[in-house]
Amino acid sequence: MTTTTAGRPSGHSLAVVDSTAHGGRSVALTFDDGPDPHGTPRLLEVLRRHHVRAVFCLWGDHVREHPEVVREIVRDGHELGNHSLHHDDMSAWTPERIRADLRQTSALIQRAAPGAPVRWFRAPYGSWGRSPEVAAGLGMRPLGWRLAVGDWEPPGTDELVRRLREGTTPGAVVLLHDGGGDRRQTVEAVDRIIPEFRAAGWRFDGPARRA
């Protein structure tokens, strides 16, 4: 598997955000499946060194296990997203079941980092079902992507850099992972691509507040 662009559901009246706040030659980095006690701190150090802020979509079970990592994400000024409690496919769930899951996940995030806003929701696997409307009703914007580089494989750092270099389009939200496995290749690829993108005139942005 190489790149995917399946971050926006079809047939929904509520648009899912997949573009940057300011458009143009900009990109928004987003990371799923953390917090991870190994990958996330390494990634945070890279982002801190390069002065880049990102969105971290947090898996509830991992938040419960590693609340100190959530606090580190918040201290560095990154934005938070709800990525469900157990990383289940929600595509066939009822709105009531989705709502209960998202509320429980947000409560865990708030317990780990009191007062930190949870502005975003991303459906596991991009299987949205009724979740965009439910998330919006809970005050979260559904967050999609234009490029997923397939770092869950993992294919090697050079390949990840190639996919980022060739697959990123102006104004794109990019999906990467800081948890769910060994993410050293992702961390190394991000460390390499940020200065390369900047040298080519790109800027790092947040996702658009409105789709």
- Among candidate residues 157, 204, 151, the one with its CA nearest the CA of residue 175: 151
DSSP bridge partners of 19: 172
Q: Identify the active-site residue in 66, 78, 83, 177.
A: 177
Q: Identify the active-site residue in 18, 32, 36, 178.
A: 32
How far from 37 is each of 40, 104, 139, CA to CA, in Å? Answer: 6, 21, 28
Dihedral sign computed on CA atoms, order 195, 200, 205, 210: negative
- Interstrand relation of 141-142 and 26-34 (parallel, antiparallel or unpaired): unpaired
Q: Please indicate whether residue 177 is annotated as part of the active site.
A: yes
How far from 77 is each of 25, 54, 74, 97, 206, CA to CA, in Å? Answer: 23, 9, 5, 31, 12
What is the set of active-site residues? 32, 177
